[in-house]
Structure 1
Amino acid sequence: MWMGTYPSVPSRVYSTGKLLSEHLKDNPELVGDSVCNRYGPDIPFLPKVLSFAKALPLQIHPDKDLAERLHAKNPEKFGDANHKPEIAIALSRFELFVGFKPLGQISELLRLKPLQKLLPAHEKLDDNALRKVCETLLTLSPEAVSNTITELQNISLSEFGDSENVPSLLERLSKQYSSFDNGSLVAALLMNYLVLEPGEAVCVPADGIHAWLSGDILECMARSDNVLNTGFCPRADRDDIELFTQSLTFKPHGPEESILQSKKSSIGVKGRSIEFAPPFSEFNVLAVALSPTEVEKHSVLGSPSILVVTQGSGKMTVGDGTVHEIGLGSVYFTAKDAELEFSTKTGLILYRAYATF
């Protein structure tokens, strides 16, 4: 479920059917001068709710420079010139691959006999060598991929050291995408496997390698739909491997670096709001979790926002006194000057992404 003004899956105003993008063009005061001066009368971020039971494609989202070049060269495939850093907040148990493991952990794996050919014995593993290893794994023939997976699964578990989950992950991924998919080797051998519980979040920078494995999440990203896919998808749909690997960033480099910690937000007057603030400028995300009979009030943000209810039901009272009945799946655009109060008799969880500068 996409929310916002991105043209490929645009939101509409429920009461009129009018595109939200057109409504904002006709009423730019709803987003305010600060957003208009920088982005135009638009929403500079794109929230989504995703639900998946098998791995989504192994991918990166191009940074600003690469996005501009790809869009100029092939605007049909790369529909905008913007970068796409993103965050993902778990709504249920969320399994994912994100970023690269620490170099030491990967080095230990590359000493295993089936993988020794990936890195010459005299070469030290650094990020440049890791780039080559990643490219090699992505360009292996289907038969070589399958043989490597089989050989790894025949090795004693004790030889995997801190990466003892590799054989089970390879088995699981092979069942989903066959034993011939290069993405299985890259994800299981090189990437951090994480499990997040509801309310926990990760941050993926532009050019950051990732693949979501299972769960339900709220994503929020810069307003873009550019992506390079190289695994967990048909070979015919895969993008240029050399372009993919040359574009990679090696931050984060370890599981802890990917986690985006929340903090208590001063926007929540009653103290029941937390905030996810990624290290880029387009947006932050507020999270409100209310128990029965609890109330929260948000002071004026000064920028436009989009909120979605992910659990429970309740009421949202706007500053002018208008009351909205809200529940699971309710989505609202809120203008820059909106003052909101939330209440519930049964419990309520909602997320509110808003523009930052």
Structure 2
Amino acid sequence: MGEYDRGSTFELRCEVQQYAWGKIGSASEVARLSSSAHADFAVAEDEPYAELWMGAHPKAPSQILTPKTSLSLLEYIKKNPGVLGKKVNNVFKGELPFLLKVLSVNKSLSIQAHPNKSHAEKLFAERPDIYKDPNHKPEMAIALTPFEGMCGFRPLEEIQMFLKEVPEFRAVVGESEAENIMKCKPGDDYVAKALKSCFENVMKCNAEVRKENLSKLISRISAMDQESESFSKYSGELLLRLNSQFPGDVGCFVVYFLNHIILKPGEAMFLGANEPHAYLDGNCIECMACSDNVVRAGLTPKLIDVPTLCEMLNYQPATPKSKIFPSIQKKDDPYVKEYNPPVDDFAVQYISIPKGVSEYTIKAIDSASILLVFEGEGSANKSKPSGLDLRPGAVFFISADTDVAISLSETPFIAFRALCIL
């Protein structure tokens, strides 16, 4: 491979996904970063830019950016598995285990969850035409701007309040199921079973019954004073917004089941296997196992699989606060915070270097990593023939056990680094 032997660092050209839910034109962080990094990336102001994929997923592998070759990162790693690092190579059998993304969300993504590894393999074996990936897909979202989503089932008391005070919701849940869960107390062994019955009833509710009750609810909420306590209490703004995006969709009722969370920049959510969630609005960094495995059941024009989703979910109620995943300050580096979720596949480092620091070394680790420059300018490895230009949107692959010396301009520097910690 010559200039791309073990120990090297090189720039990547990464694919943009223009899904319909993406932010439009230059309002999209995906578009901003892509046009900043590449002069030939023209932003169409009437088109959506939803995701930037950075990694070696077969659906959209990043390309090594050099005039000498058109090799993809996927092909490169297959030919040079040693760049992954010894432990990563052994555990993940020669594959880069993570996929890094930037997401720019303009309207709700589907209500969804991701199967665990054994379930993913089972779904792939039984229905490969639908579930085309045998890998699990734990993922983490780190807010770049205020980032809005739904995640995990609400505390039991909140769901009980909605059943008591929102008759249209109670009608689609069903009287028997509603009565059962109203009798539950936090911590009861049968809460999860009762909650599952309620959720299943809503997701499988007769279409006419659902539409009639949702129409009543939308009319009633629309007539409320939007500054009133009741409008806020019954999630009026979110309900009306979701119904405007997906009129009549069963997912509109899910606002009364799932926690509504708005992350501040730098805050994160970790979504393990079977965690119900939906992204609603904002820009984030997302890192996940190298998979595209999703089970959907609402707020989407894509294929839904209600029985599979209902059967697999984690039905344990929890507070919104408990769904925020913390970062840890690295003791040996004042400029690095680390998000290290309870999976082997990935972690993310947030590198923030203040103005006035002109030289810095991105330290070698025993894992391949991918670095996205989010803010600031400079150069890397300037003493070597293969010097690299640092600018917002630039993406670099760093081989395992490789230091990267960078020189920075007189502005703050921010980057995100995806890696594997074993």
Contact 2:367-2:419 at 8 Å conserved across structures: yes
Contact 1:94-1:216 at 8 Å conserved across structures: yes
Pick from 385, 403, 410 the counterpart of residue 345 of structure 1.
Answer: 410
- Unpaired runs of at least 5, structure 1: none
Ranges of 4+ aligned residues in structure 1 off by more than 6 Å: 155-163, 318-321
Alignment of 1:63-102 (within 5 A): 63-102=116-155
RMSD between aligned residues: 2.4
- Cα deviation, residue 273, structure 1: 0.8
Distance 1:255 1:198 in 2: 16
Q: Against the structure 1 CA distance between its residues 159 and 140, is the aligned structure 2 distance closer, same or farther, given a 3 Å change threshold?
A: farther
SS at match of 2:325: coil
Aligned to 2:245: 176
Letter in 2 for 1:146: K
- Cα deviation, residue 279, structure 1: 1.3
Q: Given the alignment of the two structures, is residue 223 of structure 1 paired with residue 290 of structure 2, yes or no? A: yes
Contact 1:231-1:238 at 8 Å conserved across structures: no
Q: Given the alignment of the two structures, is residue 263 of structure 1 paired with residue 331 of structure 2, yes or no? A: no
Q: Against the structure 1 CA distance between its residues 316 and 114, is the aligned structure 2 distance closer, same or farther, given a 3 Å change threshold?
A: same
Pick from 201, 205, 217 the counterpart of residue 136 of structure 1.
Answer: 201
- Unpaired runs of at least 5, structure 2: 1-51, 185-190
Aligned to 1:336: 400
Give CA-to-partner distance per residue, 1:251-270, whole Å, 9 cap, x none: 572211211111112463xx
TM value normalised by structure 1: 0.91
Give CA-to-partner distance per residue, 1:86-105, whole Å, 9 cap, x none: 10011112111111111111
- Cα deviation, residue 169, structure 1: 1.4
Aligned to 1:275: 338
Contact 1:149-1:170 at 8 Å conserved across structures: no
SS at match of 2:78: helix
Contact 2:349-2:416 at 8 Å conserved across structures: yes
Distance 1:228 1:345 in 2: 46
Alignment of 1:60-209 (within 5 A): 60-112=113-165, 113-117=167-171, 118=173, 119-123=177-181, 124-125=183-184, 126-153=191-218, 154=220, 164-178=233-247, 180-186=248-254, 188-209=255-276
Letter in 2 for 1:256: K
Aligned residues: 351
Q: Against the structure 1 CA distance between its residues 49 and 10, is the aligned structure 2 distance closer, same or farther, given a 3 Å change threshold?
A: same
Distance 1:252 1:328 in 2: 40
- Cα deviation, residue 106, structure 1: 0.7
Contact 1:100-1:191 at 8 Å conserved across structures: yes
Identity %: 32
- Cα deviation, residue 162, structure 1: 11
Aligned to 1:31: 84
SS at match of 2:380: strand
Distance 1:99 1:321 in 2: 50
- Cα deviation, residue 140, structure 1: 2.5
Letter in 1 for 2:404: L
Distance 1:138 1:218 in 2: 30
Contact 1:45-1:223 at 8 Å conserved across structures: yes
Aligned to 1:311: 375
- Cα deviation, residue 319, structure 1: 9.4
Contact 2:106-2:281 at 8 Å conserved across structures: yes
Q: Against the structure 1 CA distance between its residues 122 and 131, is the aligned structure 2 distance closer, same or farther, given a 3 Å change threshold?
A: closer
Aligned to 2:23: none
